Amino acid sequence: MEAMPYSRPALIALLRRHGIAPTHQRLEIAQVLFARCQHLSAEQILAQVNERHAETSKATVYNTLKLFCERGLVREVIVDPKRVFYDPNTSPHHHMYNIDSGEITDIPAESLSLNAMPELPEGMVTEGVDIIVRVRTPDAVGQGRLG
């Protein structure tokens, strides 16, 4: 795992190390992702990046997140059919998803593992194993839908 890259120079170094040219927009997006290590959707990142004054377009946010994924800076988390979340933590771990609040939290890799890997069909290769623990707040059963 990378050292905590809060400062501009550290973020620039981080992008460069991944073969990414450090433009202003990419640094803003990296800032948002790595400052607090949360799971954010593209639209949340767009909003946070443009909080003070508009400076990054929707297209660039999507382009950049795709690039960050390809270069292994972030990873996609697919738990909610409505949107993809982006995870700045690329080390192996799993997720707990609160279906009432939409909150995603990490489960350390050590605290949960499979007792067997499935045999793959001829010529297939594992890309990754996602484990998602879906949880609920029983109080919130009937209504409490958030997004």
Report the interface residues with Zn ion, using CB under 5 A: 87, 89, 106
The values of phi and psi at residue 97, to 5°, are -120, 120
Query: Which of 11, 56, 88, 97: binder of DNA (CB under 7 A)?
Result: 56
Report what 142 binds from a copy of itself, Zn ion, DNA, none; CB cut-off 5-8 Å by kind.
none
Asked if residue 46 lies in contact with residue 56, where contact means CB atoms within 8 angstroms, the answer is yes
From residue 142, alpha-carbon distances to 134, 137, 138, 145 in Å are: 17, 11, 9, 9
HSE-CB of 77 using CA atoms within 13 angstroms: 30
Residue 143 binding a copy of itself, by CB under 8 A? no
Q: How far apart are CA 65 and CA 58, in angstroms?
A: 11
Between 85 and 124, how does the x/- string for binding to a copy of itself read (CB under 8 A)?
-----------x-xx-------x---xxxxxxxx-xx-xx
Burial bucket for residue 125 (CB in 10 Å: 0-12, 13-18, 19+): exposed
Report what 58 binds from DNA, Zn ion, a copy of itself, none; CB cut-off 5-8 Å by kind.
DNA
Between 9 and 48, how does the x/- string for binding to DNA read (CB under 7 A)?
-----------xxxxxxx--------------xxx-----
Both tokens of residue 2? Answer: 């990378």
Residues found near a copy of itself in the complex (CB under 8 A): 76, 78-81, 83-84, 96, 98-99, 107, 111-118, 120-121, 123-139
